[in-house]
Structure 1
Amino acid sequence: MIPDALSQGQFDIVYNFLSLVIASQLFTALFLLISLPRILPRYRNAITVAIIVCGIAAYHYFRIFDSFKEAFVTDALGGAGTYTQAAGASFNEGYRYVDWLLTVPLLLVELVAVLALARKVQAQLLFKLVPAAALMIILGYPGEISGDTGTRGLFGLLSTLPFLYILYVLFVQLTKSLDLQPAGVRQTLSNLRWLLLLSWGVYPIAYLLPMLNIEGANAWVGLQIGYSVADILAKAVYALIIFKVARIKSFADDAEFARHESSHDEFAAASRER
């Protein structure tokens, strides 16, 4: 599905979106690291996992970025012209699957960790979600690298089964735990599940494109844009929402901590006004 050539505009679009993802993941991780003291210790595990997820994503996007620049080159002066695949080099989509194998289970760990449930309940949820997430990615990869439509369809179907199980756990079993959360975060936590579903929905669509004979440079560029936007939503934006939930729950759990943080925010606002 990787095209033989890209126009200058197509190359620039992919180049800029890959750069955007790297910046989003890196600076989200930096913000969360600096902000760890602004939530209670019981919620810091969730944010630490979010930092790790963004760090892993940033690393792999650096590798994807380098692979892209090595795979498509031009002889035009000033780097302006048609970009063709370099001899002996190819764009490595495998980096994405390695990234997903690590980060997709951890995204579910973030959600469970910020709920701060009883240890037994938390362990039960993780035992269901984490293996299913890893299995979903592992089963999808053989189909991704296969040029045979039947093989691709078979492994696509197999990877859908753990995906449906994850949805069942998130939207049926996890709902009982959401009812135990403070009223101020219930809707936000519920919406997080939809954010995951929305962002993950890009991947099966991309998986189906070769089976529908949708190929060419424009389709490939659109695919890279979709992957980039989905990864920003599923990792950086998701992590910031998890942090917001942790802040609200920290305030609800400890009135003294809430007063201290509120006074800090008021001081910072007054300093900006001056």
Structure 2
Amino acid sequence: MISGTQFTIVYDVLSFSFATMMATTIFLWMRVPSVHEKYKSALIISGLVTFIASYHYLRMFNSWTEAYEWTGEGELAKTGSPFNDAYRYMDWLLTVPLLLIEIILVMKLPADESKSKATTLGIASAAMIAIGYPGELFMSEDNLGGRWVYWIGAMLPFLYIVQTLLVGLNDATQSEADPAVRKLIKGVQWWTVIAWCTYPVVYIFPMMGISGSNAIVGIQLGYSVSDIISKCGVGLLIYQITIAKSLALKNGNEETPLL
């Protein structure tokens, strides 16, 4: 059973995550007029990622508050309405492919390669989410073997995405003429990979001996922090890249990118 303290911790984290996502959305969309036409799509998609996430965090927050209630004795009790954590996976199914696409859009890639990379990364990320979700349903100690199976399955497309970001797109990254822009693009690639590496760790919390209400709270905290880092953090880095590239184009210092 969730304790009052645990309920409040998750309550505050979900509320904070919603506010952070929405604030980032407003900032990114308000800055769209400041970037060159070529990079507006990337910035709009960045804001769309955090907007979709903010909507789902609001739904998770409401679901969390509807699942528990305070009794007259000041104790916490279940209402009979289950907490719907599937909102998180619905969010990832939409935002993770978009997050990868926004990175592709700020890179100097030919149009056909940009489309190809966006498609393959989008499919791989959707497969990663779809494979991983059933494993979340295995929470008790007697069926954690099933959770490991889905974790391993989801890691296959995850490793493909990591390989593509750090190796497959390296030539495009190195083709950037401006060292500052090249550094920013490398930064967003590494930031994405490092942030995403936190998700598999949170996923295996129940397999690390964390059980019951502690597992529920740990997973909610871990995923929320990971989302803020990977969505808001990447969005702000994309903003920096679009501003830097827009300034370079304005000054005539950058070749026209084939996006």
TM-score by length of 2: 0.90
- Render the CA deviation track for 1:30-60: whole Å, top value 9, x for unaligned: 1111111100000001011111111110110
- Alignment partners' CA distance in 2, 1:107 and 1:201: 15
- The residue number in structure 2 matching 1:226 is 222
- Alignment partners' CA distance in 2, 1:231 and 1:59: 13
- The residue number in structure 1 matching 2:121 is 129
Q: Deviation at 1:166?
A: 0.6
- Render the CA deviation track for 1:144-166: whole Å, top value 9, x for unaligned: 12353232221111111001111
- Report % sequence identity: 38
- Alignment partners' CA distance in 2, 1:53 and 1:43: 16
Contact 1:139/1:159, CA 8 A, preserved across alignment? yes
| Aligned pairs (5 A) from 1:183-198 | 183-198=179-194
- The residue number in structure 1 matching 2:236 is 240
- Render the CA deviation track for 1:123-172: whole Å, top value 9, x for unaligned: 22113211101000011111112353232221111111001111111111
Unaligned runs of 5+ in 1: 257-274
Read off the aligned partner of 1:60 and give its amino acid letter. Answer: H
| Aligned pairs (5 A) from 1:101-140 | 101-140=93-132
- Render the CA deviation track for 1:93-124: whole Å, top value 9, x for unaligned: 11111111111111100100111422022122
SS in 2 for 1:145: coil
Unaligned runs of 5+ in 2: 253-259
Contact 2:43/2:102, CA 8 A, preserved across alignment? yes
Q: Deviation at 1:14?
A: 1.4
Alpha carbons of structure 1 residues 149 and 12: separation in structure 2 relative to 1, 3 Å: closer
- Alignment partners' CA distance in 1, 2:200 and 2:244: 34
Contact 1:5/1:82, CA 8 A, preserved across alignment? no
- Alignment partners' CA distance in 1, 2:207 and 2:229: 26
Q: Deviation at 1:23?
A: 0.9
Read off the aligned partner of 1:57 and give its amino acid letter. Answer: A
SS in 2 for 1:73: strand
Q: Deviation at 1:82?
A: 3.3
TM-score by length of 1: 0.85
The count of residues paired between Structure 1 and Structure 2 equals 249
Alpha carbons of structure 1 residues 116 and 76: separation in structure 2 relative to 1, 3 Å: farther
- Alignment partners' CA distance in 2, 1:238 and 1:83: 37
Whichever structure has more helix as a proportion of its residues is 1
- Alignment partners' CA distance in 1, 2:126 and 2:83: 24
Match of 1:28 among 21, 24, 29: 24
- The residue number in structure 2 matching 1:92 is 84
Instruction: Please tell me the root mean square deviation across aligned C-alpha atoms, in Å.
Output: 1.8
Alpha carbons of structure 1 residues 109 and 223: separation in structure 2 relative to 1, 3 Å: same
- The residue number in structure 1 matching 2:257 is none
